[in-house]
A and B are shown apart, each in its own frame.
Chain A
Amino acid sequence: MKYLRINDLKMLALAMVIFAVLQLLITGHIMSSFWQLNLIIIGINVIMSVSLNLINGYTGQFSLGHAGFMAVGAYVSIVLTTNFQVPFFFAILAGAIAAGILGFLIGIPTLRLRGDYLAIATLGMSEIIRICIMNIQYVGGAAGFKGIPHHTTFAWVFFFMLFTLFFIKNFVNSTDGRACLAIRENEIAAESMGINTTKYKIMAFTIGASFAGVAGALFGHAFYLVSPNSFTFMQSFNYLIMVVLGGLGSITGSIAGAFVVTFISAALASWPEFRMIIYALALILMMFYRPQGLFGYMEVTNTALFRKFLSKPAVKTATDNSEKGGSANG
C-alpha cells in the first residue's frame, strides 16, 4: 500500500503549489484585503464543515450545535493569548483540547438520542454554552472580548485546514472510520458486528468538536473583537448548509460547500434577506431532487482527472480508493 503514501505526497505537493500562488497574491498586494479576509473565512469554514461532516455525514449523527464548540475554542484561546501571552500555536491546541473535552462530556449523554432528538439536544447544548459565556464577565459577557492580538494569517489557516483534511480523510479510511460509516448505515447491524457504537459516536463527536475548537481559535484571532453573538445556532445552521449542500459523507463536498456558502455570503452581504432566501430554497430543492448533496459520497480524488495524477494500487482493483465510503486519498 505504498501507493497511498505516494498519493499523500502528491496531494501535499499540489496543496503547496496552491498555497504558494495564494500567498504570492497576498504578499504582492494583488488580492484586495476584502478577499484576503474571505480567504481566511473560507479556510475556517472548511475546517468547520469537514469536521461537522465527520459527525453528521460519516457517522450519521445529526448535530446542530457545532458553533458551540467553535465558541469554546475561540474563547479559551483568546484568553490564553491575550491575558497570558501564550504562543498562538499552543493557544489553538488548548482551544482544540477544551472543545474536545466538552464535546466528549456532552456526547456521552446526548448521543444516546437518535435523529431529530439529537439535533435539538445538540442545538440546546450549544445555546447553553453561549448563554454561559454571555454571563462570564471575565471574558466580556454579552459585549464580547476586546483587544485580541491579530495572529490569524492566511498561512495559519491554510496549514491547519490542510492538517484537518489530512486527519479526517485518514480517519474515515481506517477501521475506526468504517465503524462510523457502519453506524450511519445500520446501527443494529454495526453493533452485532462487534462495533461499540457508543464509543465510535463519541469518538467522532469529540474529534469533530476538537476541530471546531481549532476553527474557533483561528476565528477568534482574525478579529479585534469576539462576541457570543458570533456563535449562535444560526451559525451552526450555516455550517449545516455547507455540509448538506456539498454532500453528507464527502470531504470534497464539504470543501465545495464552504466555498459556495462563503462566496454567496460575501457577494450578498448587503442583502442578507436574499442570501437566506437563497439558502432556504437551495436546502429545500436539494432535499427534493438530490438529497445526497452535490457530491453525494463522491470524492474529487476518485474522478478520472485525479486518477491520472494519483498512483494506482498494486493489486488489480482499487480497493482503498473505492467510490463509496468516502475515500479521499490526498
Chain B
Amino acid sequence: MDLLTQIVQQLINGISLGSIYALIALGYTMIYGIIKLINFAHGDIYMVGAYIGFFAITQAHLSIVPALLISLVTTGFLGMVVERLAYKPLRHAPRISVLITAIGVSFFLEYTSMYFVSPTPRTFPAVFGDVAVNIGDIVINGQQLLIFGITAVLMVVLTYIVQRTKLGKAMRAASYDTETAQLMGIDSDRIISFTFGIGSALAAVAGVLVGIYYNSIDPLMGIMPGMKAFVAAVLGGIGILPGAVLGGLILGIVEALVSGFISSTFRDAAAFAILIIVLLVKPTGLFGKNTKEKV
C-alpha cells in the first residue's frame, strides 16, 4: 500500500470513529448548552445503551434495527430519569456541585452495571457477515457503512426536530436564554428533560454501533469515549450542534492518523492535547462566539 492509500484508509477509519464521537458529542453539547453542565455520566449512558443493544440482540434475538430502537428508547428514558433524580434538585446549586454530582452519577452507572453484568468484556455478536466494499486497495467494511448510514439518518432527524418541531424550537430558545424562555411560557424543566432524553438516545445508538464496530463492550467502555466526545464538543464550540459533529469527525480523523502513523498508545494523548490547544487558543471552539462576564 502506498502512502496515499494508507492516508485515505485512515481517513475512512477516522470518519467512522468520528461519527461515533459526534453522536456522543451531540448529547454533551445539547446538555451543556441548556444547563451548563459537563455531564460526566454521558459516556456511561452510552455504555448502558451498548449493553441494552447487546442483550436485545443476544437474549431477545432481535435484528439490528429493532435492537437499536429498543436501546434508543430505553436509554433515552434512563437519561431523563438520571436528570430528574440527580440534576434537577441542584438546578440552582453552584456549577461545581453539579459537576461533582455528575462524577458521582458516572461512578454509579459504571459500577452498578459492573455488578449486574460482571466486569468481563462481552463479545458483541457480528450482525453483518463479511460485507465490505473495496475501492482499489481501500476497504470500507460493513460496520463502517452501517455507522455512516445510521449517523446520517440521525443527523437528518435531529436537524428536523431542532429546527422544525415546537419542542426543538423551545429547546433552542432555552439554550439561548433559559430565564427569558421561561418568561415566554416555555416549561424549562420539560425542555431540559427532553434534551437529556434526545442526547441519551443518540449516545445509546453510538454505544450499539461501537459494539458492532469493535465487537467488544465492557462496563467502563464509556469513560474514554465520553471524555473524547466532550473534547469534540469543545472543539466545535460547546452548545453548537453542527460544531459537535465537526468536532467529532476531526477528533476521529486525528486519532486514526495518530494511531496509524505514530503509535496507538498516543491516541488518547492526542485527544487531550487537542482539548488543551483549543482551550488555550480559542476556548469558544471553532464555531463559538466570545462572551464576557458582566461586572
Contact = CB atoms under 8 A, between A and B. Distances in A.
Given A110-B276, A240-B103, A288-B90, A62 B96 contact: yes
Interface in A103-118: 109-110, 112-113, 115-117
A113 B281 CA distance: 11
Do most interface residues of chain A lie in helix, strand or loop, or is the interface mixed?
A: helix
10 contacts: A110-B280, A120-B227, A131-B268, A237-B107, A277-B107, A277-B111, A280-B108, A282-B104, A283-B101, A284-B101
Contact of A276 (B107, B231, B279, B283): B107
Nearest to B36: A116
B103 A237 contact: yes
For the complex of A and B, 8 pairs with smallest distance between CB atoms: A124-B272, A283-B104, A280-B107, A280-B108, A276-B111, A284-B104, A131-B269, A287-B101
B283 A113 contact: yes
A113 B105 CA distance: 24
A283 B272 CA distance: 26
B129 interface: no
A242 to B, nearest CB: 13
A132 B266 CA distance: 8
A115 B279 contact: no
A314 interface: no
B265 interface: yes
A280 B105 contact: yes
B112 interface: yes
Contacts, number: 117
B272 to A, nearest CB: 3
Interface in B21-54: 37-38
A209 interface: no
Interface of B: 37-38, 86, 89-90, 93-101, 103-108, 110-112, 114-115, 119, 227, 230-231, 234, 263, 265-266, 268-269, 271-273, 275-276, 279-280, 283, 293, 295
B28 to A, nearest CB: 11
A139 to B, nearest CB: 14
Interface of A: 62, 109-110, 112-113, 115-117, 119-121, 123-125, 127-128, 131-132, 134-135, 142, 188, 237, 240, 244, 272-274, 276-277, 279-284, 286-288, 291
A273 B101 contact: no
A272 to B, nearest CB: 8
Contacts of A132: 269
B55 to A, nearest CB: 19
A119 B295 contact: no
Nearest to A60: B96
A273 B293 contact: no
Given A116-B37, A284-B108, 9 more contacts: A113-B283, A120-B227, A123-B272, A124-B275, A244-B100, A279-B104, A280-B111, A283-B100, A287-B104
